[in-house]
Structure 1
Amino acid sequence: MTIRAVVFDIGGVLEFAGPMDFEGEWEPRLGLVSGSMDAAMADVWAAGAIGTVTEAEVHAAMRDRLGLTDSQVSAVMEDMWQRYLGSPNTELISYARDLRSRVRTGILSNSFVGAREREEAAYGLVSLVDECVYSHEVGLSKPDPSLWKLTCSRLDVSPAEVLFVDDFAANIAGARAYGMRAVLFESTAQVIGEIEAALGGE
């Protein structure tokens, strides 16, 4: 079947995040026991990924559970976001922008509350594509089959008409099980080559 839509993951595909070990680096600076930040915040991080907490609630939970000041929490979260945003994959972003004139395009990202605004401000990712599906906005995370269904619905295509790009094998397997074509990101050149092959030089 003809590919009518190409959907990109963000982290590890359109942007490359920095090392996300900010908790281990901040604990000694804040006088916290090693592992205490993750133990205190694990449920909040999980909730933020599906949008059941607000940014203000994340901030308050870190402050109250770890006994930090508001300024300390702000510093930790600023560092987290700098790492989360990392650096843009400028070549693939440019390709995706041009691709939009040929097929429908989308973003499907396991994210965190606040990601849309920051990624749009930093890299213009939301305006890059026709549809952008963030886990924290829809309450679902890859590889939940309901998320593939939602993405196809928003793009008005069948699963067989979608080519999905992600950097996690489990998400690739999930997309394929739902009936999509899927490409595991290994390099930008490899992904562009596989997309072009799937499109047949359209």
Structure 2
Amino acid sequence: MSETCVIFDVGGVLEFTPETGWVERWEERLALPHGTVGERMRDVWAAGGVGTIGEHDVHAEVASRLGLDAPRVEAFMADLWAEYLGTPNNELIDHVRGLRGRCRLGILSNSFVGARERETALYGFDELVERIVYSHEIGIEKPDPLAFEAVCAALGVRPESCLFVDDVAVNVEAARAVGMQAHLFEDNARTLTRIAAHLDAGRPVSS
């Protein structure tokens, strides 16, 4: 198989993840000022993103900091995951499935502890690509250059052979800084065109 490689972000690319307003609804339900949940949970969310806290402890911190009993903690976390997981970008997922055997395929995601299990169960990303690199498993988030190096190492490819697709501009620029080709996801049509150009060239091409 060619070393040519395409690596995808998840949220905002393979998944559509619009804000659902779940935090605001909980603040209203708990009679908390706007922004309170974010302030109280900020360090927990950050720790979950790099895997320095487990799911059990996340639940414990939610209970303690927001004054929720066990059933309401479960409901709170269910709302969090509903927004996090969003809905599948089926057109792009189907296209990626059709690329298997034509190029190397990977995922690099700024994630949260518990994401692999849920995304595997819901979307089967583990069968879609060869390697998935989650920030909560490697302890590094994009746009840190080490995150891009980690996914290239996992796939055994050179950065120069890879096209990285993300919906966040700073991550796209960071990927380019380590030598990858990169595309800012805005819609499926332009993304599919960019992937085709990368594969047809078999070498780095400019966006």
Give the alignment's TM-score, normalised by structure 2. 0.93
> 1:88-113, CA deviations, whole angstroms, 9 ceiling, x for partnerless residues?
00011011111121011000000101
Question: Which secondary structure state, in structure 2, belongs to the residue aligned with residue 106 of structure 1?
Answer: strand
% identity of equivalent residues: 51
Q: 2:95 corresponds to which residue?
A: 95
Q: Specify the code of the residue in structure 1 equivalent to 2:8.
A: F
Work out whether residues 3 and 157 of structure 2, in 8 Å CA contact, stay in contact via their aligned partners in 1: no
| Residue 86 (structure 1) aligns with | 86
- Aligned partner of 1:52 in structure 2 is 52
Which amino acid in structure 1 is aligned with residue 18 of structure 2? G
Map Cα deviations across residues 40-77 of structure 1 (whole Å, 9 max, x no partner): 11000000001110111111001011211111111111
Distance (Å, rounded) in 2 between the aligned partners of 1:128 and 1:165: 15
Residues 43-192 of structure 1 aligned to structure 2 (within 5 Å): 43-192=43-192
Say whether the 8 Å CA contact 1:51–1:137 is kept in structure 2: yes
* Alignment-derived partner of residue 10 in structure 2: 10
Residue 29 of structure 2 aligns with an amino acid whose one-letter code is R
Residues 3 and 198 of structure 1 are in contact (CA less than 8 Å); yes or no, is this contact kept in structure 2? no
Distance (Å, rounded) in 2 between the aligned partners of 1:62 and 1:115: 18
How much does 1:34 deviate? 2.7
For 1:28 and 1:158, the matched residues in 2 are separated by 49
Question: Stretches of 4+ moved more than 4 A in 1?
Answer: none
Alpha-carbon offset, residue 198 of structure 1 = 1.3
- Partners of 1:100 and 1:26 lie apart in 2 by 42
Q: Which residue of 1 aligns with 2:28?
A: 28
Partner of 1:38: 38
Q: CA RMSD in A?
A: 1.4
Shift of 1:3: 6.1
Q: Secondary structure at the match of 1:141?
A: coil
Unaligned 5+ segments in structure 1 are: none
- Matches of 2:47 and 2:69 in 1, distance apart? 22
Determine if contact 1:20/1:80 at 8 Å carries over to the other structure. no
Q: Residue 20 of structure 1: CA displacement?
A: 5.0
TM-score norm. by structure 1 comes to: 0.95
Separation (CA, whole Å) in 2 of partners of 1:147 and 1:176: 13
